[in-house]
Structure 1
Amino acid sequence: MSTKTTTRPSTSYDDDFYAWTQDQAEKLRARRHNEIDWDNLAEEIESVGRSQKSEIRNRLRVLLQHLLKWHFQPELRCHSWQSTISEQRVHIEGVIEDSPSLSAFPEDALDWAYRGAIRKAAEETKLAQDIFPTACPYTIEQILAYDFMPGRPWHPDDLIGD
């Protein structure tokens, strides 16, 4: 009976990314620092941070798109628009809760998100882009506030079914 321990061969970052992540996690937990793929690991950690910013930016664009549709087509307001608005707010809040250092990022991303929201809202509503204000008409506090809905007052009974 052999007392020799067998070790799995190292998994290549380029050959099998998932297996590489598991291998690197195992080596980190075992404090086997000489076996860590430091450059790729650092890049992946940075990528996770970028993906959180990207998620906020994209969810903010969808949120603004639906706020614009809600504001500028009140006769077409529906439950799905209201649901999408609420869902985007919840997800943005969740990312910020997980990474409080990103709490100022929605304001930083507002101009980019608003430009994209105008394009998508115009495409979906068939309204001309110039109908929408060139600068975002809502503050970031309003955009992220659960009780804010732009435009004329409404009641849930006013929503069309969808």
Structure 2
Amino acid sequence: MSAVKAAARPQEAGTAYEDDFYTWTQEQGARLRSGDLASLDLENLAEEIESLGRSEFNSLVSAWRVILLHMLKWDHQPERRTRGWALSIRTHRNDAADVLKDNPGLKSRLAEGLERAYRGARLEASRETNLPLKTFPTTCPYTREEMLARPFPADPDDTTD
């Protein structure tokens, strides 16, 4: 049977994707491993694989959003700077670096990721600082390099980042 016919054919007996996602994933994995390609739920498998890629991109954007949030707070409320902000920046820089190391294909979407991350960070910064939204530029004031390398000492005598 051709792949087109297999794709058009309804999934053979098993748990429906909509009824029990966990069991469906286990059944699909077992079918893949056994080579039972004809009974795979191809449409939902394709959607789930694409969703995994979106999830990795969203992980990168989320880490960058937190970095940018703390950078905005650091720059706009110097009197309230905390060690926690500096350590959060370091932690999320590490998280973002890990996502990029594990997913080099995301490099083509870095500009988009930075734009999305800043859009969220700007709103959160306004909410968390109680400063008017217009306080924060509408476009990201930081380069990607600055976001990833600007030093933020966690302690007064800390010169590393």
Residues 100-129 of structure 1: per-residue CA shift (max 9 Å, x gap): 010242322222221221111111111222
Structure 1, unmatched stretches of 5+, are 1-8
CA distance in 2 between counterparts of 1:106 and 1:149 reads: 21
1:14-67 deviation per Cα after TM superposition (whole angstroms, max 9, x unaligned): 111011111111111111111111111011000101111112122222211111
For the pair 1:92 / 2:96, whether they are aligned, the reply is yes
Distance 1:141 1:88, change over 3 A: same
More helix by share: 2
Task: Quote the Cα distance in structure 2 between the aligned partners of 1:155 and 1:24.
Answer: 47
Q: Does 1:156 align with 2:149?
A: no
- Tell me the residue number matched to 1:114: 118
Q: Measure the CA separation in 2 of the matches of 1:105 and 1:156.
A: 34
Q: Which residue identity is paired with 1:72?
A: H
Render the CA deviation track for 1:124-143: whole Å, top value 9, x for unaligned: 11122222223212111111
Runs of 4+ in 1 over 4 A off after TM superposition: none
1:12 pairs with one of 16, 23, 30: 16
Match of 1:124 in 2: 128
Task: Among all aligned residue pairs of Structure 1 and Structure 2, give the percentage whose two residues are the same amino acid.
Answer: 43
Alignment: residue pair count: 146
Cα offset, 1:156, TM superposition: 1.3
2:138 counterpart letter in structure 1? T
How far residue 91 of structure 1 moved from its aligned partner, in angstroms, is 1.3
Classify the secondary structure of the residue corresponding to 2:142: coil
Greater relative contact order, per chain length (Cα 8 Å cut-off, separation 6+): 1
Q: Distance in 2 between matches of 1:82 and 1:75?
A: 14
In 1, Cα distance between equivalents of 2:96 and 2:114: 13
Where structure 2 has 5 or more consecutive residues not aligned to the other structure, the ranges are 1-12
What's the RMSD between the two structures over aligned residues? Answer: 2.0
Q: Which residue does 1:4 correspond to in 2?
A: none
Question: In 1, are the aligned partners of 2:67 and 2:88 still within 8 Å (CA)?
Answer: yes
Distance 1:45 1:115 in 2: 27
